[in-house]
Structure 1
């Protein structure tokens, strides 16, 4: 380095032609250092008194070696100093700036860590918009990872609402006991309708600083309801399988229970049941559901109990009227049919009487067991002429309920 012992050039560079250093680079350097220090204090904010910052050179005066006068920072450090000394002073300033930066960063990091919250548990949370979804709608939920500190129990206050400005819980306030970093809220469901609540949760940071958060929520209380519908009609018929559908809104089918006051009810799966009744005039289905580990009564439905209606008799596939001999002999059966009935039921004809007119003009009855024409009846039909009349009378039919019904007479007329 040339001119390391020279002090004229350095003094002119840093001090200039001024008497107080304001005309040279020393004043410019001082202003930048003062501005830098102020920015560091601003960053520290309330923690500025916790860090001892150097470079406090604004408006400071320093005594000379002789002690006979006071000089400002510029004149003290850079007036009549050789180049080598200036380099040492500048390096010292660089070191002080870096130390100040490090001290400020360390304090800010310490402050963040002290007031930050630590967590030791992490879990996935699913928060549905509603637990009840209407057919044709959609299920919507927020899914996220939540962290909490199981080592401290938060203070949780629950009320009717919360003043979010003053962080004050309103209404009837109760304290919810926290456990392992969480609180479990249980509110008895009283009268039906929309319900609201609000509250605050307070937790502490590592430094002991307290932070309070508010929350609001609402839910809907519905009366216990069960939908019970007979799949065929609103009647149970004796002796047949009566299909029934049972459901409870918001409850899976496998958690629904059903019983009946008259007869038996048999689960078929997926909310379907079969009801069998044998007597009486009415039956009541009682429905309950398993909810949150408890069995709750959800409602009941009353049904009428009736006998299966009596069928009408058909001969050769028709309920009487005009027949040809060929038509009768091709389908020689007497059957029982229930018209306009939702159930597919079968009545078996077990006997009847085939009445005809003898050549002498007398009405004679030919008894028959079963539903087929006997050979005697077939012979009578074969010998008949155009305009002959027959009557199928005293028809007995046995139904699925075991009862035997007597059916109305069927009149037949031979047309050819």
Structure 2
């Protein structure tokens, strides 16, 4: 049709023939475009379901990590990093798809989405890849690297590489093309949309693969006997001379269906009647005062081999107590007018078998007490404990009673000399504080006096200046020092004996 000189009639026939072929191609392309659109819908629905399933798996893994941090903590860290990258790439593609269809009025009319203009201009210009195109490829590469790092050397590594490969591609003629050009240059809009939705499907599939692979690995590890630990568990941490031991050695899982073939403790094979489901009973004499070591081995049969699990633990034998241990939670003194937290206990004696008494002392819970001392300079706390054998031991201890140290007047959180303009001095609020005091007390100022040089001292009730005080302050000059003194303050109904003055230096 294109060779030689042609007559006008022949040229017209050729033109009509080309139009006929184009019409056939157009009809076929409409069907193909609709097929792409339906495929995109199905992929979108599948992605929604996959996202919901993955979220449930993430929540399950998070719960397991909270309950068993050592076993599932690393798996959660890995999947959390993958989840963040996955969400970033998924949302990036969502935004790109939104831009591609921004000018499409009917998002379901796939037959109109036959142009390639958007991505041809967004990803490519004058035969080169734009910065947006490079960003798209870079995000795919980053996600692939993260996924491979999370999954490590597993059989899924090849799958991940294939899903998110951006390597050059050979076309049907054997020519090597850039991956982005091969997949997105010159394609109808709906075809490119479907390809992007497929990438989103691959993202969700990769998250699912990572979750199932890591959880499967942890579960396989959990059921293996090689990961069990033997633990020595006593009914109490210390024993008196002559007492019998009361405790057991258990495996970390404490499986009632798990019984050792043999147990050796401190070089001695333990009697079979002391080896029970998942544990070993200890009931021998405690021994003399000092630290005692327990070591040995569990022997189990697993398939055709014998698994050995080491036993390592210990306990202490301590003398019988004859003196209580009493400590003030703040310091070795108690303050008058305050509720002083204290801990009163006796070694080897439970808190419900310990009784303490003193003026102003009350039990809060267990071995926690509150002391609110009254008059005098000392208070004696008397403690009596009942030992397991019924015997009683008593102890007394004295504590000093101290007054709350002098507070300081404060303005705007500052004390001492505070520089302020005269216009601000009449608007301040007077407070009181105890810098570096052990207790965090809330002090309430009830009254104070104001002395301006050359003026009579003005009494004030409350925390803010009254009219007389403001009038006196108005007569102050630059560099005058206005003294706020005789500050009265209290805390929890207790009146402080002394509050140091605070001085305002008039700056202008």
User: So what's the TM-score if we normalise by structure 2?
Assistant: 0.37
Find the structure with the greater CA-based Rg.
1
The TM-score with structure 1 as length reference comes to 0.44
Structure with greater proportional helix content: 2
Question: Going by fraction, where is strand more abundant, 1 or 2?
Answer: 1
